Amino acid sequence: MLEKLRGVTEHPYFNILAALGLVLTSIGEVSESFESEWERIEIGVHHGIFLYGVLSLVKAIPDVAEATRRMHEAREARGKPPGGGA
C-alpha cells in the first residue's frame, strides 16, 4: 500500500500537476496583492506558495523529459515507431 502511494507521489506527472495547482491557485492572490500593495511592498504567504509552485514545476520538467525519452527508446527497442499504435 505504501509503495503504491510512494509511486504515485513520486511520479513526475503528479509533481507537475501539484506544482501547477499551487501556481494557478496563488496567481489570483499574487496579482491582486501587486495591484493593491504596490506602494508598500508586503510579502505574504501566497507569494511563497507561488514561488514554491514555480520551483516545483521547473524541478519536475527534467523528470518528465527523461521519462518521455525512455518511453521512446523502449518503443524503438520493440520495433514500434514513437506515437504509433499499440
Question: SS in 3 state form for 30-71?
Answer: HHHHHHHCCCCCCCCHHHHHHHHHHHHHHHHHHHHHHHHHHH
pLDDT digits (tens, 9 = 90+) for 51-60: 888 888 888 8
73: pLDDT confidence band, cut at 50, 70 and 90? Answer: very high
Q: What is the mean pLDDT of the chain?
A: 81
Is the pTM of the predicted complex or chain greater than 0.75? no
Q: Is the dihedral of CA 72, 1, 58, 17 positive or negative?
A: positive
Amino acid letter for position 15: N
Amino acid in position 32: E
